[in-house]
Structure formats: structure tokens, C-alpha cells
Structure 1
Amino acid sequence: MTNYMIRRVFQMMIVVLLSTMAIYMLLNIAPGGPLSGLRLSADIKNRVTDQDIARLSAYLGLDKPLALRYLTWLIGDDWLGADWVYVGLTQFKQPLMGKDNQPLYNIDRDTGEKEILYEKARFWVNPGPPLFNPTYKLWVWGTQAEQQETIDVPDPVNPAIKRTVTTDAYLAETIQVKPPVTAEPPADVLLVGEVRHIEGSRVVLVDKNNKHYVVLTNRETVYSFPEGEGKPVPEEGVWISISWLTGVDGILGKYSQFNGTNH
């Protein structure tokens, strides 16, 4: 009887999984895509424009491959861009440390008790472009590449609108992330600019003259983050490397979703 129940539960799980897959696929292969119903408003003034559809598609991740969209719908997308996954029943947890290398606390106003602040994460990213955010300022040291790079850069106001840019590319050897606001860049800095777009290991910078540059990073690039940011994977706990699949140079690296934090 026990074997029968286990077998039936297993079969039920497979049926549910296949059903969700079939329904998801049907909705996404329908003419016009899953957002086609937004065009059917009887009031012309309230109909969604093609630009609105494009913006929503980018926001909802509908520009990704269908199989990847289904997988992220099923299990979430917080693993995209990660280099490590923590093996444990709960998230990895370690105290947040201050500049004096002492744990940071929250103090209860009523009782005066101290509560240690913890950093929690299931996935971890090695220092690199997935931890950048648009508008981050960078100082870049390196050399100019022999060939120019072509990349689609989203419009800062409407990310669904992309502009193809062909511009000079630079091989980054060292990158200073978010340097002090009042500091002047050293004389040997190759590029100074703000992050406009990140695609895998390529970073688009915009300088003060609004000129675009493509910064090419690799495993040899050295990153310098502000204190407390861009830390290597913790030595405590059991972490498994998944960078070959979801890391910046991995199979799915171009679909990185981290945007600045480990989680």
C-alpha cells in the first residue's frame, strides 16, 4: 500500500508539472504573445501602444527564451547571475561587520537590547559586473581593444527602446567601483564614466560628454569595491560553484538579474 501511495503521488507531481508546462507554453505561443489581450480594449484611447507592449515585455522578462521564462516562472529568477549556491536547509547567515571589525547592532528603543544584524544569502556573486547598478561611477585601467564593439543600449527613460551602439572597446585590467565622490581620478586611469548598461561581461559606460564606451571584463579583471561590498564567497558553510551555468561568463550569463546585491 505504501509503495502504491508513493507511486501515485509521484505520478500526480509529474501530471501537475506537465500541465503547468503545457498551459504556459500555450499562453506564450499564442498569436501576439501573452500580452496580446492588452490590445483589445474597445476604447481606442485606452489601448496599449506597441511601445507600451515592448516596455512591459522587457520588464516581465518576455524577451528571454521561452524555456528559460518557464523555468524562472516555476522556481524564480534570483539564481540568474549567481556564481555560488549555498547548500543548507536555510540561507547562509553571518553577522554584518563594521569598520572596526565588530558586529553591527540594532538597539530596541523600548528595552535597550542589542540585536545583531545579519547578512543572509542563498546565492553569491563573485566581484564583477553583476554587482554593478546603472549610474555606478567607475574608474577603469586597461588597454584599448583592436576592434570596436556593437551592443544594444536601452533608453534610460524607456528601457524597452534599445539603440544599437558601435563604439570603442577597452579591455579592463582593474576597475574601481564607486570611487569617492570628491576624489580626482589618477592620471593613469583609462576611462571614467557611469554605468549605463550591463550585458554579461560587457559594461557600457557613458562619460561626462555623453559618449559611450564598452568595457570588456574577464576572469583576470581585478575589482575594487567600497568597504563591505563586492566580497568574495564566504569560507564558512558549503558553497557549490554554478558559475559555468549562471555566472557572468556562463551559459546563461547574459540574463544576469543580480543588479547589485547577493541574496
Structure 2
Amino acid sequence: EVYNSKKELRAGQAFKLLCADYSVKGDETQVAVTYGRLPRDVRPGQVILIQDGTVMLEVTEAAADHVLTRVMNDCRLGEKKNVNVPGVKIDIPVVDEREVFDIEKWAVPAGADYIALSFVQCAEDVRECRRHCGGLPIQIISKIESVEGMRNFEEILAESEGIMVARGDLGMEIPMEKIFMAQKMMLQKARAAGKIAVTATEMLGSMEDKPFPSRAEACDVANAVLDGSSMVMLSGEVANGHFPVETVRTMRRIVEEAEACME
């Protein structure tokens, strides 16, 4: 994730990713990222995608504790956004120290019903998460957001109570035109196995700034229901948006209409 407040970036400008000191407050020239090994995993010419691909950076230099880049497009960078390097396997455990703390010190004592586990690569990732659940019947929803996760989808599905089609990061790993087929495949297999199937990311994204969605977004939500989703999920629309209540009401109306068509 990137930590900073929303900033305007211009195509062609230099931009630095700090990989050692996470306390640095970001600005229009630099931000801190939480993955300290990023300089070792990238090389000049590679593209780094931030904020579901809306911010594109080309690596110009990788130093010991930072990465220098060139901004490829005019954009606005918000806080706590995801970072993706297409084609590069990031060397970080799915269940790291932060996840262990969150599970053992918060989810378990709170009696959480579900844990949504990010960037699941294989069935062992799910088992590792379950080992920290204190024997409680917490249901694990595995987020599929990488090529490796898709490659091992069947074994992940078998080990999980459900899956989430996390289209943001997945859409940076596979070609945009193939996302719809990946979604349909995962939803179909999850429903056939009797597992929870969640569709997420940018479902009503325009409602972060507007009190109504685009027609394409309304169709996207409805089609996700018709494809077999058990749930559809909102994220930035309600976490950062100006119309969170209206967004939830809008999604509910679309879902109810789609479900009525299935009866």
C-alpha cells in the first residue's frame, strides 16, 4: 500500500517510492510503500501500477532503499492504495506478521464470522490462515487477485469457505479483456461447489463522486448476480466516497431487480 494524502501527479515528472521509512508523509514527489524489498524486485524499464492501475510509473532506477520512477500519465494518487508490478512475483507471505496480529488479536477475540484473505496463491495459504484462528469456525474467503491464484483455483476453492473475485489487482495481472471470463469461471465453479462467491472492485466506482452510477456499472452489478455471485461488494465507494448511503441503496435496488429476474 501507499501512504499519503491525495496528490496530483503529471506525466513525465520524477516520482520516488520510499521503501525503508514508512513514517514519511507523501507529497507530489514521493510516497512511502510497505514492501521493503521492492528495489530488489524491479529493474529499469518495468512498470509499477498503483491504485488499480490508474497510476502508472516506469522504473528509472532501483537503489538500496528507494525506487526512482517516471510518471506515465496525469493522475491523482490517493492514500493507502495498492501497488502492483505485473509479471513480478513479490516475495512476501500471504499471512505475514501484520495478518497474524490482526487475526489473533482482533478477529478471534471479536468472534469474526469471516476473514477475507488477500492474494491467496495456493491452498497452503488458506491452511496457514486457519492455523491462527484458535480453532474457531471462522469462514475464510480467499481473494483471487493473481495469475498464481487462478492457476491454483481448484485447490484454493476446496480449502476455503468461499472466494472473492478481486478484479482490481487481478485486472493488473491479466489482460483487461479476459477479466469477464475469469469472473464467470470462478463464480460458476464456486457455486457448483456450494461455496460463497463474492464479486468485488469498482462495481459502482463512479458513485465515489456522483449520487448515481453509470449505466454500465448498473449492468455490471446485475450481471454479477446473474453469473452466480452470493454477494457483491462495495469498497472505495463507501470508504472514501461522498455518497456512501446512496451507493448502498442503489446496489440493493439493482441486486433485488436482478434476483427477481432469476425467479
**Category of TM-score, reference length = shorter chain:** under 0.3
Bigger relative CO (Cα 8 Å, ≥ 6 apart): 1
Q: TM-score if structure 1 supplies the norm length?
A: 0.21
Q: TM-score if structure 2 supplies the norm length?
A: 0.21
Larger radius of gyration: 1
Is the helix fraction higher in 1 or 2? 2
